[in-house]
Structure 1
């Protein structure tokens, strides 16, 4: 994993390799992967807010590649991180005319708990995402798969906001 992709511009955008892009922006660090023919060719991990990390990452990717499809983890996690990632991915999807697909973030952390607020966490039990208030299990880092499993994703890409009761 590296800090940022090198900024190399090809004269003709159609000469750039066609890739698929996976965005995992549900918490810090922001994680992303670039896939060519379904195989991961580059990964990216950066601490920070999605609103600060995602724009330069997308700029660098678009300077080097043509994006054919976008995939993202649509939740659960930080409400703002999910919202920013979705808005940017949806905007790019519309602007480029490419599909956007979503799946829950458990696909990228071995189905381990995802930190929520305080000692609470999100867990997936029998296919349903719930909040556990006194979470003892450790969360796991998000890792993009070496091969993009498109069957995990849905064209229903709206954010999955799982909010605790107030």
Structure 2
């Protein structure tokens, strides 16, 4: 099976709903997996609310995974200067070069969690 890559510079709040509408027209979605950490308050909250609502409406399983599992444990951009880095099971903000993300060929290798609540690293101001 080939996967279509979709990327955008739009904010997730603008893009996610239209993406899910398009995907649900063409596919029978049985499981949603999203990265519930690390991230900012608004980014994770928007993703969680939209995807949780979609999973309830469509009756599909909803699971979470750490973003660090999708980039080999590398740094994840937090803002223009700082990145989230994982050290000894603690997530910190540091100046670092962000790593690229990629989906594994087999989703069974991911440490999927039923606890899908966002794990905020940068709290609301």
The corresponding residue for 2:39 is: 77
- TM-score, normalised relative to structure 2: 0.86
Unpaired stretches in structure 2, ≥5 consecutive residues: none
The structure in which a higher percent of residues are strand is: 1
The corresponding residue for 1:122 is: 84
The corresponding residue for 2:26 is: 64
Structure 1's consecutive aligned runs of 4 or more residues displaced over 4 angstroms after TM superposition are: none
Q: Which protein has the larger Cα radius of gyration, Structure 1 or Structure 2?
A: 1
Q: 100, 104, 121: which one pairs with 1:145?
A: 104
Q: Where do residues 146-161 of structure 1 align in structure 2 (5 Å cutoff)?
A: 146-149=105-108, 151-161=110-120
RMSD over aligned CA atoms reads: 2.1
In 2, are the aligned partners of 1:40 and 1:147 still within 8 Å (CA)?
Answer: no
Instruction: Give the structure, 1 or 2, with the largest relative contact order (CA under 8 Å, sep 6 or more).
Output: 2
Aligned residues: 124
